[in-house]
A and B are shown apart, each in its own frame.
Chain A
Amino acid sequence: MTNLNIREGFRAAGKGLPVLGLAIAELVLFCLFVTAVSLIGIGLGVFLVPALAVALRATVNASRRTAGRWSGRAIEQPYLPAPAAAPGLKGHWQRTHGILTDPATWRDLAWTLVNPVAGVVAALLPLALVVGGIGGMLMPAIYGPIADAGSNYYLWVRISDLTSAWYCAALGVLVLAGGLATGPALLRLHASLARTLLAPSRTAQRVRRLTDSRSDAVSSSAAELRRIERDLHDGAQARLVALGMNLGVAEQLLNKDPEAVRAILADTRKASAAALTELRDLVRGIHPPVLADRGLADAVRALALDSPLDVTVNADLPGRPEAPVESAMYFAVAEALANAAKHADPDRVSIDLWYESGALRGQVIDDGRGGADPSRGTGLRGIERRLAAFDGLLAINSKPGGPTTLTMELPCALS
């Protein structure tokens, strides 16, 4: 056994104590919670359950944190968001109902029963072995009073004289070694037990991801619609009103002042051209015409042509994906290209589009200054959200000094 292993063994044994404390608290809470649930019938439970749930969750969260810390991987909380509760008795009932219908509550309760048994064995056994081993090793020094007190045993050895005390010491070394050796493994066992019961289930995690991405998608499309509405209202609509007005004035002046009418009509023509330009820009932002005409590859080529950067496009797509997927990839690439132009100052950008193992993939590589960080820019976040709505992913590889590689992936079928 190396030094490191011994130190780790002691550390693992030391961690048994907090588990013991938590296990006791959890066992108490289990009893209280079950009692509170049984009191729902007479109405009292409706007040007790929410309060106890707070305590239960706080304690179980402490278990989550310790297990997470020891296994080096945090355990997420699985609870459903609390329902918006009305004030008064109705609210108490809504909260109670929410708590009792959350599967995580029942898994917590299972944990408060399992942890005091399995958890304590797993976490406390090494501590017991270490303490017991040390006790055995000290036997030759302290055997006197123990032997005098009558028939006392260390494991199976009756403590009667110095010889038996030394025998105990030898056994103590073995017990200590056993405690140190099994400690880390048992701790891992405890952590994985905790993870099984306390982490959100795979389905729950997926549901959460889908809920998040759906609400992102809904709110971003709502924001998009608001922007379009505003653009139309302030732009084309206002211009059409002005056009109508101008034409009315021109009609009035037709006989009196033909020269003024000529000027008004010229203005009106300019205004209608401006309205068209605004509508054109708006349409391009909603769904680029080339994307509708030719599909993703040519739309990205058109994008590359319009970009101020030196962009090469390689596309190898055997078919066309669904229109929404195509559009998501297009706007993701457009955003990536705009980001590169804005922040990276690259000499060259290359865009690759291909289809591989059931997913449409896009890669944008620039040789600019790198250091792209999704936590700072809204651009990369936007790409992530756009892709997430379709279960897609964005991978960023951007060392300071460049190059920057953005890889985007959208699972889909081609037609």
Chain B
Amino acid sequence: MDALLTSLLPNVDWLEIWQASLDTLSMLGGSLLFTTVLGLPLGVLLFLTSPRQMFEQKTFYGFLSLLVNILRSVPFVILLIVMIPFTVLVTGTSLGVAGAIPPLVVGATPFFARLVETALREVDRGIIEATQAMGATTRQIVVNALLPEALPGIFAAVTVTAITLVSYTAMSGLIGGGGLGDLAVRYGYQRYQPDVMLVTVVLLLVLVQILQTAGDKLVVHFSRK
């Protein structure tokens, strides 16, 4: 078996692959956590201040919306580079897993927030009205009605964001972010070792498959419609 693997994939250093996989998983886990923690309230805020909603604030929504759109329209590769000074300020380094997480979070949060806003918009207005008629505060409406009703949509948003983050982590290899994408670029592309490229791409594909399947399961589990 070992002999076969070595002959088919001569350049693959499995220890390095293992380390890169762990790096990718930590970048993904860390950035997904922060993206969710920051993006969920931002999405709720976008929803509440949007036209015809409970806290309709035209100017504020317009400003927030523009900010989100600006961040979303900056290509991630550019964001990676522009963010370097800020990243150093926050984490002390622009390299490795720690250096990759801030640009990943800044890149994914506006995207996730928009998805959350859309998921909340899918909640039947009648349910908000019914909760208002019970004498609920806006906070109670968000916690007890909006978020539970939008939960399947929010899980779908987390899944899409996680998969987007996988491809972002691969790009962060460009600025020394580490991980599977980094291996693919350095060995597969720059040194022309297609076997390394193949292994990393297959591993990324497996990761995406697992994320999508788990996400779909969660969505179905929490859908009561």
**Do A and B truly interact?**
no
Interface positions of A (Cβ within 8 A of B): none
